[in-house]
Amino acid sequence: MGRLPLFATILTLLTFYFLSEVHSASFQIVNKCRRTIWPGLLSGSGTAQLPTTGFALHSGKSKTISIPKAWSGRIWGRTLCGRDSSGKFSCLTADCGSGTVECAGGGAKPPATLAEFTLNGAGGLDFYDVSLVDGYNLPMLVVPKRGTGGGCGATGCLVDLNAACPAELSVARAKGSSAVACRSACEAFDDPRFCCSGAYSTPDTCGPSLYSLYFKYACPRAYSYAYDDKTSTYTCASADYLIIFCPSPYSSQKLLGTRKDGAQLPLVNKTTMYIASQHASAASSPALTVNDSLYMERSVKASCGARTIKLKAIIIIT
């Protein structure tokens, strides 16, 4: 009989150790959008799928999920979802193709704003970013909590890019209606120069395009094209994460602050001057300064190969 309490104690300790190793981080997902969204979760290659891969999240509600140690994957928000007459579930933006609320290993169909994570990576650090490489459908903010190392900066895209999305990138419910998502140039044109593929598959041969700069204007901390990692990848250690859809831009700007790790964010006025120097039609536009108001609209008409585009971006000044 004396062995049973000892066995129970060992079993309890092992269970606690296992749980602390497996469930090492909590992700609190918050919906501040005016309507219901359906977050989706996809584990990376070689990483087991989470027990929860999709769910409905009503406006003003939140859900906390335990995430295993060393997990990698992505999180996104699906919008305008419902079931057809046969009961099949689908979403107009960021659908994962599973036919159910659970994505069950399916990824987001572009365009979709993505939060990407690699937990407990090199040096024991978490690596995370918010990516617009696959386009944009919702504002998103990622904030690490209680981190013990790394820069632990907040990142995200705080503004609604759909309203100012160039017509050739816009996704709408019906012709003539307002945009519900904004495609990447890669998806819209299937051009290796925009996709960083083929002969343009290296950082030396694939740089930012006018389209990716449109995203970078408004969301300077988010990934805007494949090799935009210097200003877009963040690190932290042993952190929990707050993931907010449709965050308040004014209050969230304080959370972003100044990043402590990696390269400094490019100043918006320098980006504007770059375009002005390359395209005469924008040369008369005044440069933006760091101390300008939080939001400014800037229209840029410029050539991109054989195309002429007009961009109207809401810009966050950092």
Tens digits of per-residue pLDDT, 212-261? 998 998 899 999 999 988 889 999 999 999 999 999 876 666 666 544 44
Distance (Å, whole) CA 94 – CA 213: 22
Asked whether residue 119 carries a pLDDT value surpassing 90, the answer given is yes
pLDDT band per the 50, 70, 90 thresholds, residue 2:
low
Structure tokens at 246: 């449709």
Better pLDDT: 182 or 275 = 182
pLDDT band per the 50, 70, 90 thresholds, residue 191:
very high
Asked whether residue 76 carries a pLDDT value surpassing 80, the answer given is yes
Instruction: Decide if 9 is inside a domain.
Output: no
Distance (Å, whole) CA 72 – CA 113: 17
Instruction: Decide if 15 is inside a domain.
Output: no
CATH code of residue 81: 2.60.110.10
Q: Which range, of 22-26, 46-50, 90-94, 206-210, averages the lowest pLDDT?
A: 22-26
Mean pLDDT of 19-35: 80
Distance (Å, whole) CA 92 – CA 104: 18
Res 41: pLDDT: 99
Number of domains into which the chain is organized: 1
Contact 224, 233 (CB under 8 A): no
Instruction: Decide if 5 is inside a domain.
Output: no
Distance (Å, whole) CA 151 – CA 192: 34
Residue 135 carries which side chain, given as an amino acid letter? G
Contact 108, 95 (CB under 8 A): yes
Q: What is the CA radius of gyration of the chain?
A: 21
Instruction: Decide if 300 is inside a domain.
Output: yes
In 3D space, the residue among 63, 66, 106, 98 whose CA is nearest the CA of residue 81 turns out to be 98
Instruction: Decide if 13 is inside a domain.
Output: no
Q: What three-state secondary structure class fits 280?
A: helix
Contact 103, 89 (CB under 8 A): no
Instruction: Decide if 303 is inside a domain.
Output: yes
Mean pLDDT of 163-176: 90
Mean pLDDT of the chain: 79
| Torsion 20-24-25-26 (CA) sign | negative
Model pTM greater than 0.85? no
Instruction: Decide if 57 is inside a domain.
Output: yes
Instruction: Decide if 1 is inside a domain.
Output: no
pLDDT band per the 50, 70, 90 thresholds, residue 174:
confident
Contact 54, 39 (CB under 8 A): yes
In 3D space, the residue among 298, 269, 297 whose CA is nearest the CA of residue 281 turns out to be 298
Domain that holds residue 265: 21-316
